Structure 1
Amino acid sequence: MNLKQNIFKNATSQWPAKFQKPKQPSLPPGPKPWPIVGNLPQFIKHKNETSASDWIHSLVKEMNTDIACIRLGNVHVIPVTCPEISREFLKKQDAVFASKDRLPWPLINSDEGGLVNLRVAARNYCSNVMRKILFSRRYLGEGKADGEPGLDLDGHEKIVVKATRVMEKYQDPIIEDRIRQWRDGKKVDPQDLLDVLVSLTDENVQESDFPQLNYVKACAREAFRLHPISTFNPPHVSVTDTTVAGYFIPKGSHVVLSQEGLGRNPKVWDDPSGFKPERHLQGCNEGEQVVLADPELRLLSFSIGRRGCPGVVLGSSMTTMLFARPLQGFEWSIPGKQAAIDLSQGKGESFLAKPLLSVAKPRLPPNVYSFLT
């Protein structure tokens, strides 16, 4: 081979590497989608048989993966059950996944009658009230740039405003009078729950006791791990194409972190199905407090990132108080001849299928319960 042939061969051998586009990472593993509809047929079939969340979790387990891709129509749904990948979504690339799904306003605004999920409606109402209390902001007013309704076409705001005025009319004078009595030292009425909220000074568990209640908080944290409020967190929508954990995540993908998958991941938790509050006390030094939130996302009691829960402190305090006072004030037992508590879960959720009933027997002096009478 002469010199000219050598030069030509060396030059042409570099063309593919120089001019070829870099290979795009593949999507996360998932069931093979149909054209146009994607995995909607499988989704609908299994939803009728069990539940959507059960199908997604069984799919992730069957594929032995911590991240998957399920295409519903033209939307890529990305379920995640691994803390490391979850942190990459909500911490490392938080800005990319800070968007949320748009509300189905045409469906909400429909004039046709239909079934209403009152549980969802009540949760939305309570959420709006909490936002109003904490931030003096509401979500039933002016329209937002991300597609939320701008006009009160369905009359919801009018109804809520009217109900709020009625409540304020009857409750505000009572609350203001009670605050005045405490401030002036002229408290004459028997103590009630309102006094507890106003004064927060009685013989029951107080927030000042929280540093000594690490085991109680560990129990609450373990309950959040095993029985989260919802199976998945609200979707985080990607605003641009990106790569996470070596997989391609297209723009518009809906990333949902599995609260159940994170909390019961056998790679993270020893005996993941067992109730062991002590696991949350390990590594907790003397004087250090157990917190309900987990920034490492081994469990998802409160979300983090730009769309993280704004009421972590309030929610943690309410949970601790709600758990501590009944434990302090009563002895609890199984009712009647019931042999054991049925711990079976409801369909598609981590709550008990049947309401929890228990017998409460006072264990403290009567004066401690005076605020309840």
Structure 2
Amino acid sequence: MTMSMIMMSLTTSLPYYIQIILLFIISIASITLLGRILSRPTKTKDRSRQLPPGPPGWPILGNLPELAMARPRTKYLHQAMQELKTEIACFNFAGVHAIVIHSDEIAREALKERDIDFADRPHVLAMQIIGDNKTMGNSLYGEQFTKMKRAITTELMSAKTLNMLVASRTIEADNLIAYVHSMYQRSETVNVRELSRVYGYAVTMRLLFGRRHVTKDNVYSDDGRLGEDEKKHLEAIFGTLNCLPNFSPADYLEKWFGGWNLETARVNNNIVRSYNNPIIDERVELWRKKGGKAAVEDWVDIFTTLKDENGKYLITPDEIKAQCVEFCIAAIDNPANNMEWTLAEMLMNPEILKKATKELDAVVGKDRLVQESDIPNLNYLKACCRETFRIHPSAHYIPTHVARQDTTLAGYFIPRGSHIHVGRPTIGRNPNIWRDPLVYKPERHLEGDGISKEVSLVESEMRFVSFGTGRRGCVGVKVGTIMMVMLLARFLQGFNWKLHPSCGPLSLEEDDGLLMAKPLLLSAEPRLAPNLYPKFQP
């Protein structure tokens, strides 16, 4: 007797609605079992036609149900790869192949040796709202990407432009310690995360627009705090950043539901643009219709005045506006995260803090403030920043890359359209790469005694991720390094630090997003002569 005949005989005596329910349950179970059998990797010697190993999935949805139920979602990826004993895996999220990489060797292959194959970005509606396919960061690999990257690399990030903007960056480095000094005078607690974000925001505004305040009639304090408009602007910038792809089930179900976080992305993006766009419109009017001004003074001026070989303006106003949003969301979180974790690790390891301040006193002294020109000689400080990048990155994965064509990686078949995710903490904390990977040890980044070679924050061998590499790599490495090292150097040179009583025992616990679970709250005490602390400059 066949299975279908047995089922018929068992169900005919039951009420009709019970028969329907049983048949539905059996059908779903059968489809699920078949789907899991078919999803098992085939055993073949030719890995070039075989996907990387991955967990069995459900029909249609693949591994999406497990991803949606996991908290944090990256925990599911890590556990699945540990069970599979692999450093490259293929997850199926509603038909999207997500290739997850936890190996420095495979990461180098993907982003250095074969980066042309993986140079696209995913088509996610939230990214389209933010960048509108016009920016260097989110446009597909092609003419638009090439145009924007060339303009940014050769003009905005050129040595000439960065030298032109030294004064703007120095103003905010001065404002940083002016702000902390005013907090000391009022016996206020220093929230390191908040203060670091204020610094990153202020530097970014100076570089983009040549001024800290985004509205002319803004009411601001005279000690370095942000005005109300700047606070709203900064909050919306982080709100926009949080809408970028990060293994959200909504990103994989857009073709059915249109995305669940689009309204949040739209609202935050509109707020950011409501502050940026009037400045940009004013500059476009000034440079392209009213004859301009005496000199180019910031990044928006450069964008507005660039022309192609035919004498036509190279960058449209809409492209400038979209790219400015991208600059805002790319420039602020990394220095702030690095600063907070570095100070916390130094307070947990006083000998490291002592070595860093000793280097500052030897290279700079205590009779002047540390300047950007000192950075090449601050190797131990940069080693601390590198070690923080290694063990405390600002995100679980680098921005998503997409395969432009059918290709291979680590010998496995990678279909066109696959999403490529390179893990940051899983590589930086990998015991196969680093000895004692969870121990904070800046000395591991120094060559010999640390003075034979200048230390760079860039990790070209992908043993950890600081700045992206390859065609989609970060073009702002130099300005990012300046912001990060100056932030840390001014903090350590200007003040002695201790844990504020309200913070409780110092804990290095991290939250789901890799931030410190509790913001670092400190008390500051000046360590320089009173005349060296500058006044705030609006």
Same fold (TM over 0.5): yes
Match for 1:280 among 445, 459, 465?
A: 445
Match for 1:361 among 525, 533, 537?
A: 525
Find the aligned partners of 1:131 and 1:307 in 2 and give their Cα distance. 22
1:206 deviation in Å?
A: 1.0
Find the aligned partners of 2:456 and 2:59 in 1 and give their Cα distance. 47
Q: 1:345 to 1:284 in 2, by over 3 A?
A: same
Residues 218, 278 of structure 1: 8 Å contact kept: yes
1:26 pairs with 2:50: yes
Query: What does residue 162 of structure 1 align with?
Result: 278
Q: 1:319 to 1:86 in 2, by over 3 A?
A: same
Where in structure 1 do 4 or more consecutive aligned residues deviate above 4 Å? 105-109, 125-134, 163-168
Find the aligned partners of 1:284 and 1:90 in 2 and give their Cα distance. 31
Find the aligned partners of 2:205 and 2:500 in 1 and give their Cα distance. 36
1:351 pairs with 2:512: no
Find the aligned partners of 2:115 and 2:202 in 1 and give their Cα distance. 27
1:106 deviation in Å?
A: 11
Structure 2 counterpart of 1:37, one-letter code: L
Find the aligned partners of 2:474 and 2:438 in 1 and give their Cα distance. 26
1:303 deviation in Å?
A: 0.3
Q: Cα deviation per residue 1:262-302 (whole Å; 9 max; x = unaligned)?
A: 11111001111111011001357644111111000011110
Q: Cα deviation per residue 1:158-179 (whole Å; 9 max; x = unaligned)?
A: 66322667999xxxxxxx9xx9
Find the aligned partners of 1:102 and 1:342 in 2 and give their Cα distance. 39
Query: What does residue 303 of structure 1 align with?
Result: 468
Secondary structure of 2:433 counterpart: coil
Query: What does residue 370 of structure 2 align with?
Result: 205
Find the aligned partners of 2:436 and 2:444 in 1 and give their Cα distance. 10
Find the aligned partners of 1:129 and 1:107 in 2 and give their Cα distance. 23
Find the aligned partners of 2:467 and 2:205 in 1 and give their Cα distance. 19
Q: How does 1:318-337 map to 2 (within 5 A)?
A: 318-336=483-501
Residues 330, 361 of structure 1: 8 Å contact kept: yes
How many residue pairs get aligned? The number is: 285
Structure 1 counterpart of 2:382, one-letter code: K
1:265 pairs with 2:381: no
Secondary structure of 1:55 counterpart: helix
| Unpaired stretches in structure 2, ≥5 consecutive residues | 1-45, 131-197, 211-265, 285-293, 298-366
Query: What does residue 101 of structure 1 align with?
Result: 122
Q: Cα deviation per residue 1:160-214 (whole Å; 9 max; x = unaligned)?
A: 322667999xxxxxxx9xx9xxxxxxxxxxxxxxxxxxxxxx9211122112210
Q: 1:126 to 1:321 in 2, by over 3 A?
A: closer
Query: What does residue 234 of structure 1 align with?
Result: 399
| TM-score for the superposition, normalised by structure 2 | 0.48
Secondary structure of 1:86 counterpart: helix
Moved more, 206-215 or 97-106: 97-106
Secondary structure of 2:49 counterpart: coil
**Aligned-pair identity (%):** 41
Find the aligned partners of 2:499 and 2:48 in 1 and give their Cα distance. 58
Residues 77, 254 of structure 1: 8 Å contact kept: yes
Residues 225, 300 of structure 1: 8 Å contact kept: yes
Q: How does 1:152-231 map to 2 (within 5 A)?
A: 156=270, 157=273, 160-162=276-278, 203-231=368-396
Let me know the Cα RMSD of the aligned residues: 3.4
Query: What does residue 3 of structure 1 align with?
Result: none
Secondary structure of 1:95 counterpart: helix
Q: Cα deviation per residue 1:130-179 (whole Å; 9 max; x = unaligned)?
A: 99679xxxxxxxxxxxxxxxxxx9893566322667999xxxxxxx9xx9
Find the aligned partners of 1:338 and 1:133 in 2 and give their Cα distance. 37
Q: Cα deviation per residue 1:288-347 (whole Å; 9 max; x = unaligned)?
A: 111111000011110000011010000011100001111111111111276631211112
Residues 48, 411 of structure 2: 8 Å contact kept: no
Q: Cα deviation per residue 1:228-251 (whole Å; 9 max; x = unaligned)?
A: 111111111001111111111111
Query: What does residue 235 of structure 2 align with?
Result: none
1:43 pairs with 2:67: yes
Residues 47, 412 of structure 2: 8 Å contact kept: no
Q: How does 1:8-27 map to 2 (within 5 A)?
A: 24-27=48-51
Q: 1:131 to 1:236 in 2, by over 3 A?
A: farther
Q: Cα deviation per residue 1:65-95 (whole Å; 9 max; x = unaligned)?
A: 1111110011000111111100100111111
Match for 1:86 among 102, 107, 118?
A: 107
Find the aligned partners of 1:127 and 1:58 in 2 and give their Cα distance. 40
Find the aligned partners of 2:523 and 2:413 in 1 and give their Cα distance. 53
More helix by share: 2
Query: What does residue 182 of structure 1 align with?
Result: none
1:55 pairs with 2:55: no
Residues 447, 453 of structure 2: 8 Å contact kept: no
Find the aligned partners of 1:59 and 1:205 in 2 and give their Cα distance. 47
Secondary structure of 1:256 counterpart: strand
| TM-score for the superposition, normalised by structure 1 | 0.69
Query: What does residue 292 of structure 1 align with?
Result: 457
Secondary structure of 1:305 counterpart: coil
Q: How does 1:95-174 map to 2 (within 5 A)?
A: 95-104=116-125, 156=270, 157=273, 160-162=276-278
Residues 284, 290 of structure 1: 8 Å contact kept: no
1:103 deviation in Å?
A: 3.3
